[in-house]
Each structure stands twice: as structure tokens, then as C-alpha cells.
Structure 1
């Protein structure tokens, strides 16, 4: 970028500078923008080896948490400590003076890299963190068969709902510009949690999640149930949306699951609003919102408690949870890794916001692996479920393949 004399930087330049510093540090980092926010935030931990923490989030120092879909033996999550933290408003130019001292010092000692050089740096970093997916998970026949197996298990009353997933691998084009891609995602999906994180030797992911898993700020706890999918059509898609019984029931299952978690811990006082139609990218979903005052109900650690109870939610796994999880382990045929796990900032600026890792892609070598799933109930049509996953893959895929999409 060309800022030789001026001290003001555009948002693209600032993001490129931060990506350059983070990628060349050899450490772990995360960049994100919360839904309905103009603030871009970054945490950087220059320690070469990523480390894991227990899920007692109230006790964690500020940082960014990343947990895979499958429950590992150690029940722990990766954690990027906010050794270095910076935030900036996306709609305001930033003067060099406004950068944190650590960024100024490093920038003085480094030549500014071009977007192509940052891409090179990124690709070199991801060579050692290749995500293992099987070729099966790419195939349409395998996925539609998976849906049929799910329907059969539901008809036999073994499951109420199951959420099989698949992958799609695309190449990262030579003109791929990471900062432009992130900014385009932020611009296109104002209601999503836009994120990029890099854990050396573990994984490098980019995403635009529509689903909050848990949020705590002050005394307030918040969660949502999100399910049902259709394409947004027309000038006012929120008004013209019509939902089938299958989609309404699918979303109601998720809401009932959240309420059953409250009952499990004898929490009786909560607010529930919805379901209402919401827009996420070019897709519509049904959403209900749940709010609780942790002080009044006597649950100061509700964030950690609900994280343990909710993950993996019925929206990414199925119902009953144990049986759906076992079904997926048996038939799905690939490791989801961080897809449909959870991620987000913890104890930063007085709040914790953790999201389900949806509409996401892992970057490795010169490729991006896109992940998508579809909720299967007794009324599902395998062909339609495949089409739904195609639409979900496009949400991130089109911005990777064409940064100016």
C-alpha cells in the first residue's frame, strides 16, 4: 500500500500491518469483529507452542478460546492469551500514533509487506497444519447416503434429529488478499461473527458465524437457538419468508434443548423471545433468544456451566445428543476438527462472547477446506440437504476465490 508521507492509514492497511506482525511473530493470534459492531479486535501471543485451558471461563485471563467439535479426553480448549491486544474502529482512518507501542516498535524494524507477500507468509505457515479430511467427505453420494441413514435412524426412533456435515476443498487463488477478504466478510455479513485465527502446527481458519453459543456481560447471560434454513429472496426477505413444519420443528427442538439444560441445573427464571426470522448472509434462519440475570438467579458461573451443557448443540449434532454424536462418529467419515466447535473472545473489555464455529474454512497449503452441515429430520430430502450445504459453503468460499466478490 502507498502511505509514504501521510500518517493516516486505511482500515485495509491497518489490517495488513497487523496480519504481517502476527504472521511473522511465530505465535498464535486471532482477529475478529462481533455481530453488529464496527470494532475490529486482535489478540496475539508470541509463544511458539499453542496451549490449552480448562473451560472455567470466569477464571481465565483475557484471550481467545478455540474448541473442536468432538469432546477430547482432556476436555480442554486451545487458548490464545491476549499478551498483546489492539482494537480499532473500522469506519475511521487511523494515525500511526494510535497504534500500540508493540506494533510501532515492530513496524519500525520491518519492511512493509505487499498483500502477495502476506499471502506467501500465510501459505508457508499453514504447510505444517494440514487438516485431515477424507475424500469421502467431499462426495455427494456419501453425503446423500448419510442423510438417508439419518432418516432411517429417526424412523426407527433411535434419533429425533441428526446434523451430518461434509467438506468442499477449493484452491486459494494467486490474488488472494487476506485483509481484503476479512473486510469484505465484515461488510457483507454485519450480523455475523467474522473471525480469523492461527494456531501454529494446529490450524488456520476463517469464518463468519451466525450463531452465538453463550455471551456474558456484567450480570447478564445470553444464548440463542438457531435452526432452519432457506434462501433470502426478494426486496424484503424477512417479511416474505414462509417456514415449513419441518423447519419450525427443527428450530423448536433446539429451543427445547436449551430449556432442558436450564431445568437440569434448576434454573427457572429466564426470558425467552422468538422464534423470529433472521438474515445471515444470503440465508434466512429461525432464532429464539434467551436471557438470564446471573446475579438474581444465583448463577455467577452460568457461562461455564452452560458451555459444558450446550456443546455440541442439537443444531450442529442432533437429538438426543449422545446418540446423535455416536451416529456421526460412526457414519460421517471425517474429522470435523474445529468446524461446529466453538470460539471467541473471553474476558476482553468486560465481556465473553463465544460462538459456534459455522460458515468456516480451514486454510492449508494452497487450499481452503469449507465445512457445512444440514439438519436432518424425518421429513428431509437428501437432495435438498445437499443443496443447503452448497449454499452454506458459498458464504465463505466465494470470498476466498474472489476477494472482490
Structure 2
């Protein structure tokens, strides 16, 4: 069995960072919801406060609006402006992106020895939980999608479901972020404003694309298996995933789409022939680390991300048909779920990740999201179980045992 390191592809240089021991966890400790944005990756940690400028919503391409917003900040005398925030699944909907007043940088959380300290256990809460759709209805949607694939209408669709949690008391969002970050410090942890009084937070395992100078990295994930607390069973599941024809096919479709999306921008593009494995606390994932050298230096990380979004890993293929099927079979608006979250600077560098293993929070409620890639070989039972396993990342953070 071949496994990749438990660290996603790194960006090896970037903004000036505080290198002191405890600097990264200090930023994590300093996070408060509201007009504050937190993002941690295997390369760095950032904490941004305030809003100097919001990215406007109009008919221009998003990456162009962001570039012009950052250029305006630079012309106004700010030497190193960055944009931070989230982009929805529906690329025509408004993005939650802003240039903050201040940004602090630190090394990766995984490099901070203080990250090994456990976060406090979640307080006992009498959560009211509602599943949307109910498991039986979700299974019926999977079966319908499979029937339509058997008629060759499309080849893959990603179908999601949600858990809506309501608490009798105000949510402790910083404590949830602490538990997410300390459970998987080598992943991508984020908390950003998503609307008035709302916060998008989560711990994604999947890098959509990063850019540092002329070099790019993408790390598509597709094909998953839940972890097991029993070591022998956990290893068996990982080995089975590496040999699963269904999951390998699903993964290959995503890798091909990422290659096709990046190729026009690249002088060179290295795509490994076979995937490896990446693990989180809850899941095993098939993973391919794609690296490339840009042909033109003016293609920003965000432009590359928008060229890839949405990949078949979160939508399906063909993309337009899969979008329509999602609209027909999912009884909710995805909003920022399966969108993009991250940061970019005025030089075009940045890190943008796929917005999964996440929830949207307001004062007393959480909406959790999880999806599964449906192909012709899928079964309603296995895909319902997969989404249930994916919920565990966030349920652990709030102390819900399902």
C-alpha cells in the first residue's frame, strides 16, 4: 500500500511570517467571529481583521474584479494587499471576499509544537438535529441518479445532504475552530464571514490550487473510505481503496479535468500516473499531487482556481448536466459549500481550497454539509454511509456522537 505524507503539497515561501514558537497557535487563539478571517494551510497560518475593501459583484470575471481591487489598494499606498474569503459553488452568485485592514502571518500549525495541546472538550449541548434530506430520501436521489447514468445522460454527479443543528445557547465558534484545527493540523482550516451574523468554518483536506511565483500545485481528491479505530481494519480499508475500480475511475475523471483546466496556463505539467492516499482523522482519500510551471506569469492563483471550479470532485461530469441534476435532486441551496476558500495577493500568489468538511454558523444554528460522488456503480446505502462518515469531522468539533 502506498500512502502520501499526512501533509498536503506545500508552498515553500511567501509573506513575512512570525517565526516564534507558538506564533501559529497564537493566531488560532486570537480568532473571534465577526469581521475576522482565519486560514491555515500546510504552508502558513493567517489571521486577518477588519475590511478595507470588499470585492464588488458585477458582470466582470471574478479574478479580474479581485485583481482590480488589489491594484487599487496598492495604488492607494498599501504595499502588500491580500484578499481573503470564500466563493460559492454557483460562480454567478456574490462572493464573500474582502481586503482586510490587517493581516498577521505565522508558520503552519503543524510546525507549531503547541498545536499538540488538546482543545477543551465541547460543552454538553442538547442539540436539535434535522437531516435534510432524510437518509431514505437521499438514497432515493442516489438511485435516481444511477438510473439516469444507466441511460447515459451523464457519467457522474456529486450529491450532498445536510445536518441542521440548533442549540439552546449561543455557539462557541472559536472553540469549534480550535477543535477542527487541532484534530487535523496538517489540513486546511478556515473561518470567514459568510454574511451578516454568519460564519463559514471547516477543515478541508483538498487543495484546489496554489501559486507561488511561476509554480503551481493542485491536489485533487476523489474516492473515499471512512477510517476505523481498529488499526488492522483501518489498513485494510486503505488498501481496498487503492484497488477499488469504482473509486479509481472516479478519481481519474477528476484528475483528467484538472489537467485539462490547467494545461492552457502551463509550460510544464507533471501528473502522476496513479494516486496515493491522504488521511484525515475521519477519512481516507485517493490523492494526486499535480505540479506545473506557468507559461505566463500574469495568471493568478485565483484565475487558475476559477478555471478549475467546479471540478468533477464536487459537481460531476459533464459539468453543465451535473449542475442541473444537483439543482433537481438536492432540496437546498449549497451556498458556499463546494465553493472555494482561501487567500490571494496582488502579485497573483495564493492558496485556494475546496470548501468541504464545513458548516455555516449563526448565533445558535449550524448547517453541516457532506457529499458523495455518484457513478454508475454506486449504491444508495454506501453513498449514504460515506456522507455520514464525512459529517464526523464537524460533529466531533461540536461534541455530537452519531
Q: TM-score range by the shorter chain?
A: 0.7 to 0.9
| Aligned mate of 1:55, from 46, 63, 66 | 63
Secondary structure at 1:286's aligned position in 2?
strand
Relative to structure 1, is the Cα distance of residues 245 and 12 closer, same or farther in structure 2, using a 3 angstrom cutoff? Answer: closer
> Residues 3-402 of structure 1 correspond to what in structure 2 (within 5 A)?
15=28, 17-19=30-32, 23=34, 28-35=35-42, 37=43, 39-46=44-51, 51-52=56-57, 54-56=62-64, 60=70, 61-72=81-92, 77-88=95-106, 91=112, 137-172=132-167, 174=169, 177-201=172-196, 203-233=198-228, 234-235=230-231, 237=234, 240-243=238-241, 244-262=244-262, 265=264, 267=266, 269-273=268-272, 274-294=274-294, 297-298=295-296, 300-301=298-299, 303-347=301-345, 351-401=349-399
Q: Distance in 2 between matches of 1:293 and 1:362?
A: 36
Runs (4 or more) in structure 1 with deviation over 6 Å come to 8-14, 47-50
Relative to structure 1, is the Cα distance of residues 137 and 290 closer, same or farther in structure 2, using a 3 angstrom cutoff? Answer: same
Q: Distance in 1 between matches of 2:358 and 2:257?
A: 24
Offset, 1:175: 8.6
Offset, 1:46: 4.1
Offset, 1:380: 0.5
Q: Is contact 2:83-2:343 (8 Å) kept?
A: yes
Q: Distance in 2 between matches of 1:70 and 1:212?
A: 19
Q: Is contact 2:214-2:297 (8 Å) kept?
A: no
Q: Distance in 1 between matches of 2:47 and 2:23?
A: 17
Q: Is contact 2:158-2:314 (8 Å) kept?
A: yes
Q: Distance in 1 between matches of 2:31 and 2:363?
A: 22
Moved more, 183-192 or 160-169: 183-192
The number of aligned residues is: 344
Moved more, 352-361 or 300-309: 300-309
Moved more, 148-157 or 342-351: 342-351
Residue aligning to 1:97: none
Residue aligning to 1:127: none
Secondary structure at 2:201's aligned position in 1?
strand
Moved more, 137-146 or 234-243: 234-243
Q: Distance in 2 between matches of 1:351 and 1:402?
A: 38
Relative to structure 1, is the Cα distance of residues 225 and 200 closer, same or farther in structure 2, using a 3 angstrom cutoff? Answer: closer
1:288-337 deviation per Cα after TM superposition (whole angstroms, max 9, x unaligned): 1111111xx33531634432321111000001111101111122121001
Relative to structure 1, is the Cα distance of residues 336 and 199 closer, same or farther in structure 2, using a 3 angstrom cutoff? Answer: closer
Moved more, 235-244 or 309-318: 235-244
Offset, 1:346: 1.1
Offset, 1:18: 4.2
Offset, 1:48: 10
Offset, 1:251: 0.4
RMSD of aligned Cα (Å): 3.3
Offset, 1:364: 2.3
Offset, 1:281: 2.3
Q: Is contact 1:215-1:354 (8 Å) kept?
A: yes
Q: Is contact 1:48-1:200 (8 Å) kept?
A: no
Secondary structure at 1:141's aligned position in 2?
helix
Relative to structure 1, is the Cα distance of residues 216 and 238 closer, same or farther in structure 2, using a 3 angstrom cutoff? Answer: farther
Q: Distance in 2 between matches of 1:173 and 1:188?
A: 26
1:216-240 deviation per Cα after TM superposition (whole angstroms, max 9, x unaligned): 0111111122101112234374685
Relative to structure 1, is the Cα distance of residues 330 and 63 closer, same or farther in structure 2, using a 3 angstrom cutoff? Answer: same
Residue aligning to 2:13: none
Relative to structure 1, is the Cα distance of residues 292 and 144 closer, same or farther in structure 2, using a 3 angstrom cutoff? Answer: same
Q: Distance in 2 between matches of 1:222 and 1:199?
A: 27
Offset, 1:282: 1.9
- Mind listing any 5+ residue stretches in structure 2 that lack a counterpart? 1-20, 71-80, 115-119, 124-129
1:123-165 deviation per Cα after TM superposition (whole angstroms, max 9, x unaligned): xxxxxxxxxxxx8833122211110111011111111111011
1:237-268 deviation per Cα after TM superposition (whole angstroms, max 9, x unaligned): 468521221111110110111222245x3856
Q: Distance in 2 between matches of 1:18 and 1:339?
A: 22
Offset, 1:385: 0.5
Residue aligning to 1:3: none
Moved more, 83-92 or 180-189: 83-92
